């Protein structure tokens, strides 16, 4: 069974769209390839609601050496 993730896109005023349900890492990679260049901020959370990826203005800001944090 593939792991499920949630993708969020944030506008410049920090409002965000409903989460997109992503099934498997390949779906996450495709979502990021499309959204990161277009959106102000993109966040991916795992099924336990932990942030596993975040970009801001097209630059990856998480993961970093600080470790995980809840969405």
Task: Please confirm whether the linkage preceding 63 is cis (ω < 30° from 0).
Answer: yes
| Structure tokens that stand for 14 in this block | 């920090």
Q: What's the predicted TM-score (pTM) here?
A: 0.85
pLDDT value of residue 65: 54
What digits encode the pLDDT tens for the residues 12-65? 999 998 999 999 999 999 999 999 999 999 999 999 999 999 999 999 999 875
Q: What is the pLDDT of residue 68?
A: 47
Nearest 5°: the CA angle 48, 52, 50 is 25
Q: pLDDT category, 69, cuts 50, 70, 90?
A: very low
Q: What integer pLDDT is reported at residue 1 of this predicted model?
A: 80
Domain boundaries, the chain: 4-70
Instruction: Indicate the SS3 state at residue 66.
Output: coil
């Amino acid at each position: 069974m593939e792991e499920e993730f949630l993708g969020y896109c944030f506008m410049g005023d920090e409002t965000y769209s409903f989460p997109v349900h992503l099934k498997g890492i390949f779906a996450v990679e495709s979502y990021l390839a499309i959204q990161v260049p277009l959106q102000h901020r993109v966040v991916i959370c795992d099924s336990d609601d932990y942030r596993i990826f975040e970009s801001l203005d097209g630059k990856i800001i998480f993961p970093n050496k600080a470790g995980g944090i809840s969405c």
